[in-house]
Amino acid sequence: MKFATVKVQGLEMFYREAGSPDKPVFLLLHGFPTASHLFRNLMPMLAKDFHVIAPDFIGFGQSAAPAHDTFDYTFENLTNYVEVFLTVMNIDKFYMYVFDYGAPIGFGIAVKYPERILGIVSQNGNIYQEGLGAKWADREAYWQHPTPALRKSYQAAFKPATIIGQYKGGEQPNSVSPDGYSLDIFYTSLPDYAERQSDLIFDYQNNVKNYPVFQKYVRTYQPEIIAAWGKNDLSFVYQGAQAFAKDDPNVDVHLLNGGHFVLETHWQEIGQLILDKWGQKD
């Protein structure tokens, strides 16, 4: 495993890397509130067959985090930085793994460059209305009528108890390692964290508006997709995984007995699904 940073449009982006550069690239795109450490268990499993790259988005993890009043914390802008990161890293064609916030970023790139996508794993990475859990109704009301008080109320998403609940929700007791959520909680204490993440919560409305665009990509190009979903996720519900199949016959849906962070407990199972489908055959 290699840990490094690279300059992207003047900002340092941190990334994890494993496997030989001679192998096909597998790009791993994390979500909220985590970063590339989400993939710490999966990467070694994939490294024999793939060149695995997992960046931290700007404002997340070990990457640069400019203040929210000096940087545009929107998904469009984060997508742009990942796109330029791929250029700087000389990555052309690639498989991609998208989780949570990684889905609008990854599918945003796929829409622009469909010929570059070799295959997709969507793990609780939603692009369908059917996949939005009940909490999103409240957020839609906030998007339509934003107030400073409502913006502040959504900072509850950054509290330690909420983050731990995201990890443990829908999982078997004592099955989730504290490593991931403990590091996520540490990052919430960094300067301006709540403000930049609040900007992204408000901007998520534009991802929902783009869902039809992402779906059109799936229908038009019918990429091979593994939809591996924690079926007990209350944020992005399992119907979001099943919805892929209505648009693309090349979708394998796997509903796993876990929650939003099902990779924490089922990384071996998800890794084997990837290897069985796209790994090198001896």
* Active-site residue list: 260
Amino acid at 166: Q
Cβ-Cβ contacts under 8 Å for 129 (sequence gap 6 or more): 208, 211
CA distance 207 to 100: 11
Among 93, 96, 134, smallest CA distance to 115 is for 93
Query: CB under 8 Å to 272, separation ≥6 — which residues?
Result: none
Half-sphere exposure of 68 (CA within 13 A, CB side): 17
CB 54 within 8 A of CB 30: yes
Map tokens 């996520």 to a residue.
184
Q: Mapping DSSP to helix (H, G, I), strand (E, B) and coil, where does residue 260 land?
A: coil
Residue whose pair of structure tokens reads 């508006």 in the numeric block: 209
Find out whether 236 and 132 touch, Cβ atoms under 8 Å. Answer: yes
Contacts of 80 (CB under 8 A, 6+ apart): none
